[in-house]
Chain A
Amino acid sequence: MTRSEKDDNLSDQWTAKVRTLVVEKLPPEKLLPDTQPAYLTSWAYTFGILTISALSVVIISGTVLALSGPSWWHVSSIGRFVNSLHLWSVELFFFFMVIHLWTKFFMAAWRGGRTLTWMTGVIAFLASIGAAFTGYVSQLNFDSQWISTQAKDGLNSTGVGAYFNPLNFGQMLAFHIAILPATVVIIVVLHILMVRVKGIVPPLPKKRNEILDVANEYSGDKK
């Protein structure tokens, strides 16, 4: 093969291959669909987007707090208000996330190859608990003193405390404003992309023993 022939064969490119794969898995009309299956007829479906909305407010308010450093909100009334926004958006975030988890549990939303979607959701929940915890211990107030001195025993008992020290403010702040938010956001993005790839889960059969009634309704053959 001459040099120019090699260049001509663009489909061999890594870039081209990745693009082909991505477009195949997630074409634009799947990524941003304008229709949904007709069984989407419940408010239960809104808790995912409410959770993401609350996460956005958490990140925006947290970013404003970060702009002036960790001690600002203790001495400024504007800072205190932004801290209040941060606290309440976190409360709403967990509020909506837990309801989202309940609705997806009762829908058995892991069915039909959606196991990883469920698992990324659970990891996002656990990582969020860590993010909230590091926030509590980075507050530079009585809360952080008490929570960190209590939590050290649990963490130490697992050996984790030797590497993740809740009494070390600098380390906790780094985890809270960089490492854990990045982790949560990345996992949440993966979670959403998986939902878009697989689509929302079909309804469970109304009666437990019905199996194929609904399947006949929309078997893949119709395509």
Chain B
Amino acid sequence: MSVGREKYKTRQKRDSIPYSGPKVPYDLIKEATIAFLVVAILTTLLAVIFSSPDESAVTIKQWAMSDPLDFVTTALSELDGTSPSSQYGPPYNSGTSAQQHVGPFAPQKWAGQRIPVNSAQDFVLSPLSQVASSVPILSQSLASWNSATSKEREDWTSNYSAALAKATANGSKLLVPSGKYGPVGEMMSELLLMANSGALDASLTGNSHFYGTDYTKPLLFLADGTYLSGLAQNKHLLGTQWGMMNETGNWPGQAWLWLYTFWYQIPPYNTSTNADALVMTTMLIVSAGLLLLPMIPGLRRIPEYVPVHRIIWRDWYKSNKTK
């Protein structure tokens, strides 16, 4: 056994001896009552002075009205399977674009597709089919989409995608030059109409249920566009802006996430396609380190080298010397 380790063991023994030295009177209940009152008053003051943030939720309607081009571009990418959510991978679908791993560990893949999302079906085709019965031309369009070959679909969507580059927004309306889009032009303009009227919000949240508590689908759709992230960027909420720590407006946010969000700013994390998995692994190791600190030789003795304890216990050290 090394000298240092022996000393550590001896110290452990003396630190665990039940204390029977000099004491001071100490009224715990009184202290707790005063502490509670102080904190309650402080909280009330802060609440009265600063209130709290409540930025309204973005609706699909608001998105489509203020940025119809981004809305239709996103909807088209859902339809042709190029959106982030349609290529995501587990837990939503069989894509791979967001599937991450650390070396041979691929827990995201192992967990499987537990929350199935079919972007084209869920965000475009099924909302449209809900209104198709009252819009004959739309039901024809959907029928022709459904019976088309994948080659035909690809031609239509890529033609429409090219046309969107020349499209102009007029308020909440979108003017797209005519072209060979098959049924896609009709489908997109109907979806935009639905979105502008607010019907798409209801369709995506409610789906076929009366009650809704799960917003996975509308949120994934919203996050596929650039409208939401544009708003977030203005508020310094992007991941690359240490956004996890920040709050809307000028309120303090989750400052305690500083270390978690820090990793996203530096290499190799900020350049990796496995950034999330790497950061999560790092935080797991750091948290385990904090948890197991008393058992980690070296680290557990840092406080002995940092003289903060000499300030905290200065009166005790002084009074012991005089004895």
Contacts and interface: CB of A to CB of B under 8 A. Distances in A.
A adjacent to B, CB under 8 Å: yes
- Which secondary structure characterizes the binding site on chain A? helix
B108 A201 contact: no
A34 B43 contact: no
B317 A38 contact: no
A216 to B, nearest CB: 9
Interface residues of B, number: 104
A178 interface: no
Contact of B54 (A53, A80, A198, A201): A80
A158 B309 contact: no
B244 A37 contact: no
A104 B44 CA distance: 28
B178 interface: no
B312 A103 contact: yes
A201 to B, nearest CB: 7
Interface of B: 7, 10-12, 14-29, 31-32, 35-36, 38-40, 42-44, 46-48, 50-58, 90-91, 98, 100, 107-108, 110-112, 114-115, 213-216, 219-220, 222-223, 228, 231-232, 237, 239, 243-244, 247-248, 251-252, 254-257, 274, 276-277, 279-280, 287, 290-295, 300-301, 303-306, 308-310, 312-313, 315-317, 319-320
Q: Which 10 A-B pairs have the closest CB atoms?
A: A112-B15, A170-B213, A159-B107, A218-B21, A110-B294, A84-B47, A159-B111, A215-B14, A112-B16, A162-B111
Interface in A88-141: 88-89, 91-92, 94, 96, 98, 103, 105-108, 110-115, 118-119, 122-123, 126, 129, 132-133, 136, 139-141
A92 B42 contact: yes
Nearest to B25: A35
Contacts of A98: 256
18 contacts: A33-B26, A53-B40, A61-B43, A84-B46, A85-B47, A86-B52, A94-B256, A112-B15, A112-B17, A118-B293, A142-B55, A148-B219, A167-B214, A168-B216, A204-B303, A208-B305, A220-B20, A222-B20
A214 to B, nearest CB: 7
Given A41-B315, A165-B216, A167-B216, A204 B291 contact: no
- Which secondary structure characterizes the binding site on chain B? helix
B14 A106 contact: no
B11 A107 contact: no
B44 A85 contact: yes
Contacts of A144: 57
B65 to A, nearest CB: 16
A38 B19 CA distance: 10
Contact of B11 (A88, A111, A169): A111
Contact of B303 (A44, A106, A211): A106
A211 B312 CA distance: 19
